[in-house]
Chain A
Amino acid sequence: MPTLKLAALSLILMAGVAVAATPQSPGLGRPATPTEVQAVDISVPPDGSTLPPGSGSVAQGAAVFEANCQMCHGPAGVGGPNDRLTGGVGTLTSPKPIKTVNSFWPYATTVYDYVRRAMPLVAPQSLSNNDVYAVVAYLLSVDGVAPKDAVLDAKTLPLVKMPNRDGFVSWEARYRPKTAAR
């Protein structure tokens, strides 16, 4: 085969590869309505921007916890068959570090997000928004992270300073290829 033809062929092949690398989209996504988005947007980032209306107190939360959580997590979140939730504050540099919500988690918003979406394990998403605020307030109060008379809502919950707020180092950038845009 003459060299020219070969070169032309490899050009076509290269073009073919390039097309395969950036395929065309048929564009079949349907616009989502604001109501649709709101219905699924249950995640709560540290700024609390998606927290729902409502509020809950430590006292209400103690009752919610006893009725819905204690059987698995133990009284005040210790000694149950499943994860320990409280205590251990200040143990992270000890030979026996104890990681709990209060000793380890950097953001109170994570507690709200997780309990509302996934707990109680046997009936996730069954608690009211108010009950979730209350049970989070209760859990935090066990170690004095929130005061005993705390009432948490969309404004106050993101302001709670967790004891281990500054205890994390992000490792993500170490994996980012030099060539990758952010």
Chain B
Amino acid sequence: MTASDDDLAAGGGLLHRRTLLRGGVLAGGLGAAFAARAADGIGEGSPETMRVPGAPFSGYGVPAHWRGDIKRSIGAVPDRPGTGASRTPLERLEGTITPAGLHYERHHNGIPDIDPAAHTLIVHGLVKQPLVFSLDALLRYPMHSRAAFVECAGNSGGMIAPQPAQTTAGGLHGLVSCSEWTGVPLSLLLDEAGVDPRATWLLAEGGDAAGMSRSVPLWKCRDDAMIALYQNGEPIRPEQGFPMRLLLPGFQGNMNVKWLRRLKLTVGPTFTKDETSRYTELMPDGKAREFMVEMGVKSVITRPSFGLNMQGPGLYEISGLAWSGAGKIAKVEVSADGGKSWAQAALNGPVQDKALTRFRLPWRWQGAPSLLLSRATDEHGNVQPKRADWLAQYAPGQAYQFNAIAAWQVEAGGGIKHAYA
């Protein structure tokens, strides 16, 4: 419909607010002309979605509104909205790639809004030539894409509580997510700056209000580290470090410094706050492990799990996630009798290095109480420990890098509780 002069409400082409409304009525009228269905048309009995044209295109799609309740669960420090975490709802997702908007978040003082045109990455310290890289420059470098999980070192830390917390798989273990990351191999930038042989670590620093900073061993930087610019095919999300983050596959989430602005080559570690008070683990003898940089081998059954109750005896698929910071998953075993007997689950390939791997196993549930466990082994022979064995390594209250076997108690009625094995 073209607007007539009568529709003008002000200068510059502003139309009366009811113009569109009238247009709508007109279109409705036109539609009505076609609405009469032939008596023998097949529309009778067809779903409405086949009889009415669907919604138009959109610039950026969103999930089905029917599933609008699939959300991250947020746990912020009271009155400090920028410090805390939000967790991936693992039990509501399938496959191995986490949608970017559901990737877990851990920020220490909020998400900065960084202008990509003004942002730079500076490489300095023990190098021949300190260098500044703009985002535009980095976008011209050869890139590499790979899947990698990122897991917060505090993930599953709730499992040190004396009683099992009654919450979902995501609520317990949702500080892990997996994406396809694309970026520039860090070794390229290091070679360009020319690393002094005395350097064995570097300090990575973010441009956020926590000035997040971590020391990274140089061998990792030369191995598989990248400056990630894309996540699941699109520019990396603000919550994940836009415009760039350090990606250290398999290393503590916190070391994958977001909003990366600086890399300083150093002789040794800088001993930042987040490798001192945080992300270190006290042992019973009063000494603390530091630089426990790599995440352990781990698995979680996501279905059935707390909140996804059984619907009567019958055939089910047990589905879960396994991962290891050391490499590929070699096998996942599942027990339905609390660990007395184990069956090997199928790994739904491709099984990728330091990425989430989906495992599956058919299960005929007869309606009896069952304690469901999963136990992962990686390609280097690392096996998930029992909870008691994990706890015995450390002093009371230590919760970082918890990777012990997790359990779900399926009750006779089909209800599911979180349990310890």
Chain A interface residues (CB < 8 Å from chain B)? 23-32, 36-37, 40-46, 81-83, 92-93, 95-97, 99, 101, 104-107, 109-110, 113-114, 117-118, 121, 124-125, 167-172, 175-177, 180-182
Determine if B141 and A28 form an interchain contact, defined as CB atoms under 8 angstroms apart.
yes
Determine if B288 and A104 form an interchain contact, defined as CB atoms under 8 angstroms apart.
yes
Contacts of B93 in A (CB 8 A): none
Determine if A177 and B219 form an interchain contact, defined as CB atoms under 8 angstroms apart.
yes
Contacts of A117 in B (CB 8 A): 210-211, 213
Docked pose: A79 CA to B124 CA in angstroms:
41
Determine if A28 and B273 form an interchain contact, defined as CB atoms under 8 angstroms apart.
no
Contacts of B77 in A (CB 8 A): 82
Contacts of A42 in B (CB 8 A): 205, 211
Contact-residue size bin, chain B (C-beta under 8 Å from the other chain):
35 or more
Q: Per DSSP, are chain A's interface residues mostly helix, strand or loop, or mixed?
A: loop
Determine if A109 and B271 form an interchain contact, defined as CB atoms under 8 angstroms apart.
yes
Choose among A82, A101, A106 the residue that contacts B80 (Cβ–Cβ < 8 A).
Answer: A82
B83 to chain A, nearest CB (A): 7
Contacts of B124 in A (CB 8 A): 32, 37, 41
Determine if B219 and A25 form an interchain contact, defined as CB atoms under 8 angstroms apart.
no
Determine if A40 and B261 form an interchain contact, defined as CB atoms under 8 angstroms apart.
yes
Docked pose: A170 CA to B271 CA in angstroms:
11
A149 to chain B, nearest CB (A): 27
Interface with A: B98-106, B187-195, B304-312, B369-377, which one? B187-195
Determine if B262 and A40 form an interchain contact, defined as CB atoms under 8 angstroms apart.
yes
Determine if B219 and A176 form an interchain contact, defined as CB atoms under 8 angstroms apart.
yes
Contacts of A106 in B (CB 8 A): 271, 276
Contacts of A170 in B (CB 8 A): 290-291
Docked pose: A170 CA to B289 CA in angstroms:
6
Docked pose: A121 CA to B107 CA in angstroms:
13
Q: How many A-B residue pairs have CB under 8 A?
A: 171
Instruction: List 7 additional A-B contacts (Cβ < 8 Å) besides A32-B131, A171-B291.
Output: A28-B138, A30-B131, A30-B133, A31-B130, A82-B80, A97-B395, A180-B219
Check: B123 CB closer than 8 A to any chain A CB.
Answer: yes
Interface with A: B158-166, B167-175, B278-286, B329-337, which one? B278-286
Docked pose: A82 CA to B78 CA in angstroms:
9
Chain B interface residues (CB < 8 Å from chain A)? 77-80, 83, 108-109, 122-124, 129-134, 137-138, 140-142, 185, 188-189, 191-193, 200, 203, 205, 209-211, 213, 217-219, 222-223, 261-262, 264, 266, 268-273, 276-277, 280, 282-294, 325-326, 395-397
Contacts of A37 in B (CB 8 A): 122, 124, 130
Docked pose: A41 CA to B265 CA in angstroms:
11
Choose among B108, B261, B273, B293 the residue that contacts A113 (Cβ–Cβ < 8 A).
Answer: B273
Nearest CB to that of B143 among chain A residues?
A23
B24 to chain A, nearest CB (A): 49
Determine if A43 and B286 form an interchain contact, defined as CB atoms under 8 angstroms apart.
no
Docked pose: A101 CA to B77 CA in angstroms:
20
Choose among A32, A104, A181 the residue that contacts B122 (Cβ–Cβ < 8 A).
Answer: A32
Contacts of B205 in A (CB 8 A): 40, 42-43
Docked pose: A42 CA to B207 CA in angstroms:
12
